[in-house]
Amino acid sequence: MSLTSFNFLDNQAARYKVAQKTIEESAEFIQSKIDTETKEEKLKVDKAIQELNEKIKHIIESKEVKEKEDTIKENNEVIKKSIKIGFETYKKICKIIDEKPNLTLEQRNDYKQKLYHKLLDKFMSEKEKELFSNLIKMKGMPIVFMGNPGQMGNMRSIGF
């Protein structure tokens, strides 16, 4: 390699550093200009956000909303109890099916499948059944069941 090649490399490195510094300075200038020229609008937006948060807080603390939150909690308990009873009933009926000596294994499985789908039909909407079915198909993946969305304490996880 000749001395000229090293001089060329030094020249490219210097050009790179100048370009990099120019980019940094230009970006700082743009950000500073934006900050300076939008200061008043930013203050207005901050004030509007603060007012919105205050209004939301007031709404959440209202009697109507508190009553609806109580209704949600009560209905969440009904849902949990209904699912528990439904699952217990499913297990009992499966046991009865298993104890029928005159049924073949295939017939037992058929009855259990019919019972399973009947249970899903009674408890879930079409959209929920589709989601549940897709989750069941993803073997090895944990499934998380939630009572009331937003209440992390009600989460249950099972794996298949």
Condensed to tens digits (0 to 9), the pLDDT of residues 106-144 reads: 999 999 999 988 988 898 899 988 887 787 777 655 555
Section 78-106 average pLDDT: 93
- Encoded tokens for 122: 């009674």
> For residue 63, which amino acid is it?
K
Section 48-66 average pLDDT: 97
Looking at residue 102, its pLDDT comes to 94
For residue 157, pLDDT over 70 is answered with no
The proportion of the chain whose per-residue pLDDT surpasses 90, expressed as a percent, equals: 64
Distance, in Å, from the CA atom of 61 to the CA atom of 133, rounded to the nearest integer, reads 39
DSSP character string of the chain:
--HHHHHHHHHHHHHHHHHHHHHHHHHHHHHHHHHHHTHHHHHHHHHHHHHHHHHHHHHHTSHHHHHHHHHHHHHHHHHHHHHHHHHHHHHHHHHHHHT-TTS-HHHHHHHHHHHHHHHHHHH--HHHHHHHHHHHHSTTSEEEE-SSTT-GGG-EEEE-
Looking at residue 18, its pLDDT comes to 98
Model confidence pLDDT, tens digit, residues 9-33:
889 999 999 999 999 999 999 999 9
Lowest mean pLDDT among 61-65, 92-96, 123-127: 123-127
